[in-house]
């Protein structure tokens, strides 16, 4: 199987940001801005749209200015709606924010040097990160309006890979103490995507080793303390706290279920919301 070139991968991410944002906008067309968002307790659709648009604007600023240090992220987190917020206005603003991000990423190219909160240091990091920021929040928008949600297998697979790669990094955790608290003997997890039979060998399985530092991730079929099985999209949504580890949500967990809960909560700290 021929692997796509780095430039093709980058272009694919940039295109997906645009596509996923457009699908999010379409999903909420005509909805009530005050509708609650199940995956984001305390948020309405207005909060969600402000957050996604703000996140796209934040990433765009980082790339456009070739930032070499963290950029204030107030627009990501301060998302209290205005009294007159409505869906039409918010989605139009989101579309513009996304458009600016996409244009900036294309202008910058994949090799420019920019600040990233994890290894990478180029716009490729932001293209990938904003892809899955938008993928997950499109699910939130669909859930808020009772819509359907589907995701291509290759997108879900790469989203899983990104989350799991982040889970090995100390900076993904709320504190060094939480990171080290996960480490210990007999602490391993195996994820198996049940709908990845046609995927390249090993790419539908992940083995996370928490027995010592550094935490490692590999594509392997090994016996683990905790085994998690389910479709790719459901596994991705599980890691983002949009699914529960139950058969009702398409997930089967074998072994130590408490380890799964503890690890997911700790490793997903910096991707929450």
Domain CATH number, residue 11: 1.20.120.450
Query: What percentage of the chain's residues is helix, strand, coil (to nearest 5)?
Result: 50, 10, 40
- pLDDT at position 4 is 86
107 and 142 both lie in a single domain:
yes
Whether residue 130 sits in one domain with residue 196: no
Nearest to residue 190, comparing CAs of 161, 225, 160? 225
* Tens-place pLDDT, residues 55-87: 999 999 999 999 999 999 999 999 999 999 999
Give the count of domains, the chain.
2
Residues 254 and 173 in one domain: yes
128 shares its domain with 165: no
> Do residues 130 and 12 both lie within one domain?
yes
pLDDT of 200 over the 80 cut = no
Within this chain, do residues 13 and 144 fall inside the same structural domain, yes or no?
yes
Query: In the listed set 89, 116, 149, which residue is the last one of a domain according to the structure?
Result: 149
Query: Cα–Cα distance between 270 and 45 in angstroms, integer?
Result: 22
Does 147 or 272 have the greater pLDDT score? Answer: 147
Domain hosting 183: range is 154-271
Residues 130 and 228 grouped into a single domain: no
Helix axes 6-27, 87-108, angle to 10 degrees: 170
Are residue 118 and residue 13 in the same domain, yes or no? yes
Asked whether residue 122 is domain-assigned, the answer is yes
Any domain includes 54: yes
Helix, coil or strand: residue 10: helix
pTM attached to this predicted model:
0.95
235 is written with which tokens?
A: 């596994």
Q: Residue 161: CB partners within 8 Å, gap ≥ 6? A: 206
Mention every residue, 6+ apart, whose C-beta is less than 8 A from residue 130: 13, 17, 55, 56, 59, 101
Q: Looking at 149, 170, 197, which one is the last position of a domain?
A: 149
Phi then psi for 152, rounded to 5 degrees? Answer: -60, 145
Task: Categorize the per-residue pLDDT at 1 as very low, low, confident or very high, splitting at 50, 70 and 90.
Answer: low
Last residue in a domain, options 130, 149, 168: 149
Do 163 and 271 touch, CB atoms closer than 8 A?
yes
CATH number at residue 195: 3.30.1050.10
**Domain check: are 87 and 169 in the same one?**
no
Other beta carbons within 10 angstroms of residue 262's beta carbon come to 16
Residues 174 and 219 in one domain: yes
Q: Using an 8 Å Cβ cutoff, are 206 and 245 in contact?
A: no
Chain segment 223-257, per-residue pLDDT in tens: 999 999 999 999 999 999 999 999 999 999 999 99
Strand partners, 192: 205, 229
**121, pLDDT greater than 60:** yes
Cα dist from 26 to 46, 125, 144, 151, 262, whole Å:
15, 26, 13, 15, 36
Contact 215, 209 (CB under 8 A): yes
Instruction: Specify whether 139 is located in the same domain as 39.
Output: yes
For residue 1, tell me if it sits in a domain. Answer: no
Q: Is the pLDDT of residue 272 over 80?
A: no
Tell me, yes or no, whether 144 and 158 share the same domain.
no
């Amino acid at each position: 199987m021929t692997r796509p070139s780095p430039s093709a991968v980058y272009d694919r991410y940039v295109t997906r940001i645009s596509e996923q944002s457009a699908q999010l906008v379409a999903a909420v067309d005509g909805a009530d801005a005050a509708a609650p968002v199940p995956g984001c307790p305390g948020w309405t659709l207005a909060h969600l749209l402000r957050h996604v648009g703000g996140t796209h604007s934040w990433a765009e600023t980082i790339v456009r200015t070739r930032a070499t240090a963290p950029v204030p992220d107030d627009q990501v987190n301060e998302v209290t709606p205005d009294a007159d917020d409505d869906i039409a206005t918010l989605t139009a603003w989101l579309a513009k924010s996304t458009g600016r991000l996409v244009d900036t990423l294309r202008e910058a190219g994949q090799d420019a040097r920019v600040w990233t909160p994890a290894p990478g240091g180029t716009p490729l990091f932001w293209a990938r990160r904003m892809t899955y920021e938008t993928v997950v929040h499109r699910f939130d928008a669909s859930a808020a309006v009772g819509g359907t949600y589907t995701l291509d297998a290759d997108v879900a697979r790469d989203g899983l890979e990104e989350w799991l790669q982040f889970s090995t990094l100390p900076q993904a955790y709320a504190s060094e103490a939480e990171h080290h608290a996960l480490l210990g003997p007999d602490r391993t997890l195996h994820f198996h995507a049940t709908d990845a039979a046609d995927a390249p060998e090993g790419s539908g399985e992940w083995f996370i080793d928490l027995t010592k530092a550094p935490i490692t991730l590999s594509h392997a079929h090994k016996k683990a303390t905790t085994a998690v099985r389910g479709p790719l999209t459901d596994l991705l949504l599980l890691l983002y706290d949009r699914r529960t580890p139950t058969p009702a949500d398409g997930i089967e967990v074998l072994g130590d279920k408490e380890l799964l809960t503890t690890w997911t909560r700790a490793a997903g700290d910096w991707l929450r919301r």
